[in-house]
Amino acid sequence: MEQWDALVDSSIERATATAEKWRTGLAAFVTVVTSVLLLKGPDAQKIALRNLAVVIPLVAGAGLMILGLWRALEASAPA
C-alpha cells in the first residue's frame, strides 16, 4: 500500500515533467519545419542547378533532425 501511495503522489510530477518535455520537443519540431519551409520558399521551381548542392544536404539534414528529435522524445518521455 505504501508503494501505491508513493506512485500516486509522484504521478502528477512525472506527468508534468513528461508534458514539458513534449512541449519543448514540439516547439523544436515546429522550428525545424518552419525553417525548411522558409528555405524552400514560394519560388522553389526556380532553384538553380548549382544551388541544389546546398539545398539537398539542408533538406536531408532537416529530415535527420526531425528523426533525431522524435527518437529523443521517445527516449525522454516513454508511453
Per-residue pLDDT of the chain (79 residues; tens, 9 = 90+): 888 888 777 887 877 787 787 778 778 777 877 777 776 656 556 656 667 777 788 788 878 877 877 777 777 666 6
> What is the model's pLDDT at position 39?
64
> What is the model's pLDDT at position 46?
63
Domain total of the chain:
1
> What is the model's pLDDT at position 40?
60
User: How many whole angstroms separate alpha carbon 69 and alpha carbon 79?
Assistant: 16
> What is the model's pLDDT at position 42?
60
Can you give the residue range of the structural domain that contains 59? 2-76
- DSSP states of 26-70: HHHHHHHHHHHHHHH-TTGGG--GGGHHHHHHHHHHHHHHHHHHH
For cell 532537416, the residue is 62
Question: Looking at the whole model, is its pTM more than 0.85?
Answer: no
